[in-house]
A and B are shown apart, each in its own frame.
Chain A
Amino acid sequence: MDAKQGKNFDLSSVFLPFLSIIVALAFGGLLVLIQGIQPLQAYRVLFATAFGSFDGIALTLAKATPLILSGLAVAICFRAGLFNIGAQGQLISGALASAWAGYTFVGLPTLVHIPLALIYGAFFGAIVALVAGALKAYRGVHEVITTIMLNSIVIALADYLTSTPFKEPDQPLTRTPKIQESAQMPDFLGLPLGFFLAIGLSVTLWWMMRKTTTGFSIETIGRNKNAGWYAGISVKKTVIISMLIGGAVAGIAGAVETLSITGRFEPAFNAGLGFDGITVALLGRANPLGVIPAAILIGGMRASASTVQFEAGVAPELVDLLLAMILFFVTAPLLAKFFKSRKENVAMTSGWSN
């Protein structure tokens, strides 16, 4: 991560992710080749579909929207030295909560209903993250395990709620009723409104990290917790604040999906959005602005996966494979070593209880 984010811009923060994408695509290509499929053909279809037309770009940005947000949720926690693998659970919690708010409240004006549903999503996303944050702050339990466990708990709980109390009556499917029309997020300039919301949140959080005391506290405990404690920053409070911000942003990601794409909650929706957030955050170098291009790239890959299957005969899970490769190469220092000595990194590993 940059020595001082934003201040002295260095080329490697752009070049390195770019290089790792290229190398990952090359390796991914080899793996595709094993299946007897021309990788270049598959890639051509992939990128042409995602970025080659206005409709394609619109779909790409729609797919990128929740990824920007879940990437932000992971990135902000990274800054505090926390590895929030729980964006998935927080996102599902937010998606379900906003769906509930979307169908329960009747007769609200759109200008009230949408923000209300978003707040519900943010709040319930934050609640899930709070559990992990509080356990980390007060019991020293490593957030990686708690957030993963919470993912599974939230998924099971959401499944229960959608199949019993929140179930849409008189039909067999496990799903909530459709949200009211007043809660549906409209498009803006042909793009989903949520996309602009995500960009706005990225810029806001980037500004917060750079210019505010909260941002400085988060950054400080991420880089040297002990020095932060010495300097009078409450480590516990800052851990919890970071997790709450991360959880709320992930919750908004789920809410935006519900309110503008899916229109209701089903347990099968939103699969993998939170996990892609990890790749987005690492590819964007944990920078709140860096997650935007990272999310657009991955959004594009997700958007065109089914076309690739149709036209090039590659299973859509190709994207999963490519993302894993990208993640590997962007974090492994072997590429970085070619042109740059390593800098101090935010350390995530701190034993299981401290």
Chain B
Amino acid sequence: MKTLLEIEGVSKIFGSVIANEDISLSIKEGEILALLGENGAGKSTLVKAVFGLVKPDSGSIKIDGEVMESGDTAAAIAQGVGMVHQHFQLVPVMSVTENLILGDEPKKFGVVSMKRARSEVLKLSKHFSLEVNPDAKIEDLPVGMAQRVEILKALRREVKLLILDEPTAVLTPQETDELLEVLRKLAKRGVGILFITHKLREVMAVADRIAVLRGGRLVGTTTPKDSDESKLAQMMVGRDVVLSVAKSPAKPEQVLLAVKNLRVNDDRKIEAVKDLSLEVRSGEILGVAGVEGNGQRELVEAICSMRSRLSGEVFVKGKSVPNMNPRAAHLSGVSHIPEDREKHGLVNSYSIADNLVLNRFNEVPFSRGWIRDLEKVAQNGSELVDRFDIRATSASVSAASLSGGNKQKVVVARELSQQLDVVVASQPTRGVDVGSIEFIHKQLIAARDSGSAVLLVSAELDEILSLADRIAVISDGKIVATFSSAEADRNTIGRLMAGLSA
């Protein structure tokens, strides 16, 4: 077998962060190499270097024996590299066909021939048996289908090496299995596959070889035969990891959060939450499991009064929370760890201390009447920085200077330090290192134990399974089933998430 890709001594530094340090790897024809590592280990940077999206500071990358010109996507494509990105590289308002031909359009006298393009797309989709509707707009497609377009986009250019960056993050377990099957088929045709993930099960299921990255460095290569999940986890994190979270059984008491017959639109004005009801009791964590984009974001934002409810009501401690008024939701006792900390959770140019009072700056003791008490703000800041283990020189440095995990800890500290009745945590550990994940999980359990009702929304089924006392499965804007953590079964939940019956 011929060697397809040879990475030799690649290093890349972003500012003060070493993303890749002296990494060497190779892939042969027809081989599936899984690149494993936790968030921030440097996986994305490395594959982006191979695809010419990132220019390495040193080292060389050879494809099919030819040295690749670094930092040139067009050259990478020409040399037969295709990439399926974690965030789909598709233009939402354009059709499947338009997206597939972009950059290499069939032309007649400079004019794009849509007829030829369309038939090309149909041929392509038939050839790889990946069925798509060439005329559908990307923004109207379900995620799994959009990913199929993304894969076809890569395959269209005579791909020798296919890179997939966290392709299963947005898929149901069943869709994931289908994808893995597609990868096996492509490998049989001789395509080399570089597959990034942090999910151990998938690696064990599909990889020929496994390379593990940690802190920007290659810590080792192995095969599924010579390894098991806990060994891989140990390699990834660099120490023994407890895959499960220690917690005492829940002692649920009165209902603190009740959602009744809620209907909510998404940004495209399409109904995303459909007549949904749920209850969370004091002292329990209700986990909402589901594939992303099934109404979770809209549900959370409606509970927190950030998004208009079409109908239905949200009650905290039996009192109705007004519509479209985040402040009122906060005052009635809702803490909210938002899904997107950069967009909603933080003001990056503010100090940590100011971020820690972002939703309380106009409350006693942080202000008296119209005047803010900056001393109290600073005091609260240094207290919480210590208590929540935020790694920063002081509370007066800007949030922008923090790592993802520490930024998230700022948000968690602000929300959980208030000891409110209801905690709504949306994707609380996304893009966060393992150490911070453990810490945040402990804090959520502590909030539960102190009597809060915790609503946990996460796309990571493992997170739900290990934290939640009850699990509600959401699909197409509806709660399709609820389990106690004891009766929860990964397979059943997976089928329900995919919209199938249990």
Which A residues are within 8 Å of any B CB, using their own CB? Answer: 1, 3-4, 7-8, 211-214, 216-217, 220, 223-224, 226-234, 343-344
Kindly state whether residue B268 has any CB partner on chain A within 8 Å. Answer: no
Q: Is the CB of B370 within 8 A of A214?
A: yes
Measured in the bound complex, the distance between the Cα atoms of B338 and A229 in whole Å is 12
Residues of A within 8 A of B362 (CB): 213, 216-217
Q: Is the CB of B348 within 8 A of A231?
A: no
Kindly state whether residue B400 has any CB partner on chain A within 8 Å. Answer: yes
Kindly state whether residue B428 has any CB partner on chain A within 8 Å. Answer: no
Q: Is the CB of A344 within 8 A of B336?
A: no
Q: Is the CB of B345 within 8 A of A227?
A: yes
Number of B positions contacting A (CB below 8 A): 30
Q: Is the CB of A231 within 8 A of B370?
A: no
**Given A226-B343, A230-B336, A232-B359, do A4 and B350 touch, yes or no (CB 8 Å)?**
yes
Cβ < 8 Å to A, chain B residues 324-345: 325-328, 330, 336, 338, 343-345
Residues of A within 8 A of B372 (CB): 211-213, 216
User: Could you jot down 27 A-B contacts, CB within 8 Å?
Assistant: A3-B351, A3-B398, A4-B351, A7-B396, A212-B370, A213-B361, A213-B362, A213-B372, A216-B354, A216-B361, A220-B347, A220-B350, A223-B347, A224-B346, A227-B343, A227-B358, A228-B347, A229-B326, A229-B344, A230-B336, A230-B344, A230-B358, A230-B359, A231-B326, A232-B326, A232-B327, A232-B359
Q: Per a CB cutoff under 8 Å, which of B325, B345, B370 touches A230?
A: B345
A207 to chain B, nearest CB (A): 10
Identify the 4 closest CB pairs spanning chains A and B, nearest first. A232-B327, A230-B344, A231-B359, A213-B362
Kindly state whether residue B349 has any CB partner on chain A within 8 Å. Answer: yes
**Given A3-B398, A231-B326, do A213 and B306 touch, yes or no (CB 8 Å)?**
no
Q: Is the CB of B306 within 8 A of A229?
A: yes
Measured in the bound complex, the distance between the Cα atoms of B418 and A231 in whole Å is 14
Minimal Cβ-Cβ distance residue in A for B331: A232
Residues of B within 8 A of A231 (CB): 326, 358-359, 361
Measured in the bound complex, the distance between the Cα atoms of B328 and A234 in whole Å is 11
Q: Is the CB of B358 within 8 A of A220?
A: yes
B106 to chain A, nearest CB (A): 33
Q: Is the CB of A227 within 8 A of B370?
A: no
Kindly state whether residue B270 has any CB partner on chain A within 8 Å. Answer: no
Measured in the bound complex, the distance between the Cα atoms of B358 and A217 in whole Å is 10
Which of A8, A214, A232, A234 has the most chain B CB atoms closer than 10 A to its own CB? A232
Measured in the bound complex, the distance between the Cα atoms of B3 and A332 in whole Å is 49
Measured in the bound complex, the distance between the Cα atoms of B346 and A230 in whole Å is 10
**Given A213-B372, A227-B358, A230-B338, do A4 and B398 touch, yes or no (CB 8 Å)?**
yes
Minimal Cβ-Cβ distance residue in A for B304: A230
Residues of A within 8 A of B351 (CB): 3-4, 7
Kindly state whether residue B205 has any CB partner on chain A within 8 Å. Answer: no
